[in-house]
Structure 1
Amino acid sequence: MRLTTEGNLLYTYIEKYNLKDIFDQEVIQYMALYTLDKGECICQSGDMFQSMFFLVKGKLKIYTVQENGKALLLRFNKPLSIVGDMEYLTGYQARCNVEAVNKCMLIEIKYEHLNKFSYNDPKFLRFLIKQICHKLYTISNATALNLLYPVENKFASYLLSTMVNEQEDVHREELKSSKLTEVATLLGTSYRHLNRVIRQLEKEGIISRNKGSIIIHDINKIEELSCGSLYE
């Protein structure tokens, strides 16, 4: 993660997401803009946060890794979402891994500045409560999804979340054997079963595999199978 000082980009995002309605100028002056490259992590389970991050561009993948090494996909975050809010209020360590699906931009506010200027600010606290309630809703939704939906629906939702950007443009996704094993683990299934699902989707002409990459041919069918993008 690297600091971005390009022109007025920070203030462009502050205006775009109306952060002036949430924070006073005392806090805004301490904000910093960071860039996160695809595959880079903001945090891993067990990390201690010192800052809160506001996602203003891109998409983040949130997943949990258990002591037995198994991982489970929880959700994808889009702007404007927060990383480090629950840890700020509780002082707990991070319980999940947060990884960039694509190039992301995040605004950082250090906890020390939030404590000094925003801790008792009703505007900030109302915003925080709304964000945390949304997280609890999505976690509940993800639990039902992982227990009740077949792999076909979960994989379609995964593809929609990782291969389609904000402009609805579809791109290729590299999905070699090692990556496919990782995806199967995140979706709570086996490599063999996920491979069978992919072959069936290929047979129906919905997707294809070419030199280790997945290509979506029927985005409408993927959207239908995703049941409204289940992980978001």
Structure 2
Amino acid sequence: MKKILNQQLLNKYFAKYNIEDLFDEDIINYAQLHFYEKDEIILEAEDELEYYYLLVDGKIKISYLFENGKSMLLKFYKDFNTIGDLEFLKNKPIQCNVEAIENTFLIAIPSTILRANYIDNVNFLHHLVGSLSEKLHETINNSSYNFVYPLVNRLASYLVEHLEDDRNYILLNSPFKEIAEFLGTTYRHLVRTFKELESKSIIKCDNKKIYILDEDRLNELSKNVYMKSL
């Protein structure tokens, strides 16, 4: 992690996402800009929450760590989002591992400063409630989608979510095992489903690079882009 001492860039992110609406103006004096390189760990489960993070640029993944050492991929976040809202509100250790899967910028606000000055702030509490409500909604939606639709639809939706406008391919950042866990299936079933889409000339797999050959059919299979990157 690198602390970026660039007040102009920090102010740019504050203005872009109207962050001053969440806090009083003097919070800028405590805010820091942190930069994490791709594949760098941002937060680890069981650690204390040192900073309340605002994701302002880049992409991260959230994984839940089980007692037996295994982990399950829960979600990808991109664009503006918050990290640590539940831990901050409940004053508990970090619940999940957080990792940058692209070069990522986060605004970091010391949790002790927030707890001392903003725990009763109406705007900030409204922000916390909205953030947690949205995450709960998406978690329920994702779980329901995994339960109702066949894997081919879930995988198509996953691929659609990761397709960028200026590319005809997707570069998978997560191992197949993690993707399988996220989609509620097994590694073998996931591999078979990739091959099924390949046999229908919808995609072409080249290791972790997935070329999209028929985007219309992939969108039709996706039914609903359920995995919103919050």
Divergent runs of 4+, >4 A: none
Q: Are the counterparts in 1 of residues 87 and 95 from structure 2 also a CA contact under 8 Å?
A: no
TM-score (norm 1): 0.86
How many aligned residue pairs are there?
A: 227
Q: Are the counterparts in 1 of residues 56 and 80 from structure 2 also a CA contact under 8 Å?
A: yes
Unpaired segments of 5 or more residues in structure 2? none
Q: Structure 2 CA distance, aligned partners of 1:113 and 1:197?
A: 49
Task: Note the C-alpha offset of 1:13.
Answer: 0.7
Q: Are the counterparts in 1 of residues 48 and 93 from structure 2 also a CA contact under 8 Å?
A: yes
Q: How is 1:93-112 mapped onto 2 (pairs within 5 angstroms)? A: 93-112=93-112
Q: Are the counterparts in 2 of residues 74 and 231 from structure 1 also a CA contact under 8 Å?
A: no
**Partner letter of residue 86 of structure 1?**
L
Task: Note the C-alpha offset of 1:61.
Answer: 2.0
Aligned to 1:204: 200
**1:190 and 2:186 correspond:** yes
Q: Structure 1 CA distance, aligned partners of 2:3 and 2:219?
A: 35
What fraction of aligned residue pairs are identical, expressed as a percent? 35
TM-score (norm 2): 0.87
**Partner letter of residue 163 of structure 2?**
V
**Partner letter of residue 173 of structure 1?**
L
Q: Are the counterparts in 2 of residues 206 and 221 from structure 1 also a CA contact under 8 Å?
A: yes
Q: How is 1:25-64 mapped onto 2 (pairs within 5 angstroms)? A: 25-64=25-64
Unpaired segments of 5 or more residues in structure 1? none
Aligned to 1:164: 163
Aligned to 1:179: 175
Task: Note the C-alpha offset of 1:169.
Answer: 2.8
**Structure 1 residues 217 and 146, CA gap change in structure 2 (3 angstroms):** same
Aligned to 2:215: 219
Q: Structure 1 CA distance, aligned partners of 2:117 and 2:35?
A: 25
Q: Structure 2 CA distance, aligned partners of 1:66 and 1:140?
A: 20
* Deviation string, structure 1 residues 131-185 (Cα, Å, up to 9, x no partner): 1111111121222233333222232233234x434xx23344157xx92233223
**Partner letter of residue 78 of structure 1?**
K
Aligned to 2:224: 228
| Alignment RMSD | 2.3
Q: Structure 1 CA distance, aligned partners of 2:73 and 2:142?
A: 8
Task: Note the C-alpha offset of 1:207.
Answer: 1.3
Task: Note the C-alpha offset of 1:43.
Answer: 1.8
Q: Structure 2 CA distance, aligned partners of 1:227 and 1:90?
A: 36
* Deviation string, structure 1 residues 115-142 (Cα, Å, up to 9, x no partner): 2322221111111111111111112122
Q: Structure 2 CA distance, aligned partners of 1:94 and 1:202?
A: 40
